[in-house]
Structures are given as C-alpha cells and as structure tokens.
C-alpha cells in the first residue's frame, strides 16, 4: 500500500515531461499488476496531454484564419465610411468565410 501513497503524490503537471508512475521513482523496478496500472496511467496522461496540445494548436489556427476576413471587413467598412463603396461584394464574401469558420468550429466542438 505504500506504493499507492507514493503514486498519489506524483505531480499532475505534465509540462514537466516527467513520468508520474510507470517509469518514475515511485514504483522502482516493479514488474507486477500495480506497475502495469501505473504505466497505463502514464500512457493515458501522455495521450491526454497530446489531445490538449492538438486542441490548443487547432484554436490558434482557427483564430489566425478568422483574423484575415475580419481585417478585410474592417478595410471594407473603412472604405464605405470614406465613400468608396465598391467593396460590398468582398465584404459579403468575408462574412461567408467567417460563417463557415464558425460553423466548422461548432462542428468540431
């Protein structure tokens, strides 16, 4: 039961890239059912960390993709304000792009 107490004290911060259980000092060189569970826990933690990183990158990419049509809309509105109203079709296309990106994001959610 002492091993379980040591596992319980493992850091949950995966940014340290240190294995908590299976390959860490908590279990030493054990090769039993408890070590197998600890390794499975480490594998789940690795997969969870990879999913979180993938989600973070996806959100960063989505944010970047949305900035371009927003900037073009701002330019079209500025031109409209200055009496240069020939950018309506471009503004409409940018709105469609933003709607598509928002719809895709909701689909992924």
CA max distance for the chain: 78
Look at residue 49 in the predicted model and tell me its pLDDT. 95
Chain centroid offset of residue 37 CA? 27
Check: CB of residue 54 under 8 Å from CB of residue 40: no
pTM exceeding the 0.85 threshold for the entire prediction? no
How many contiguous H segments (helices) and E segments (strands) does the chain have? 3, 0
The tokens for 62 are: 């989505």
The domain of 29 spans 2-108
Q: Is the pLDDT of residue 66 over 80?
A: yes
Total tally of structural domains belonging to the chain: 1
User: Which DSSP symbol is given to 31?
Assistant: -
pLDDT band at 5 (very low <50, low <70, confident <90, very high): low
CB atoms within 10 A of CB 106: 8
């Amino acid at each position: 039961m002492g091993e379980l107490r040591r596992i319980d004290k493992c850091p949950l911060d995966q940014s340290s890239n240190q294995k908590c259980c299976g390959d860490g000092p908590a279990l030493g060189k054990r090769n039993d059912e408890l070590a197998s569970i600890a390794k499975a826990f480490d594998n789940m933690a690795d997969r969870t960390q990879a999913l979180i990183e993938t989600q973070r990158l996806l959100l960063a990419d989505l944010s970047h993709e949305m900035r371009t049509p927003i900037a073009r809309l701002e330019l079209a509105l500025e031109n409209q304000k200055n009496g240069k109203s020939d950018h309506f079709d471009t503004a409409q296309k940018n709105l469609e792009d933003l709607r598509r990106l928002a719809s895709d994001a909701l689909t992924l959610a």
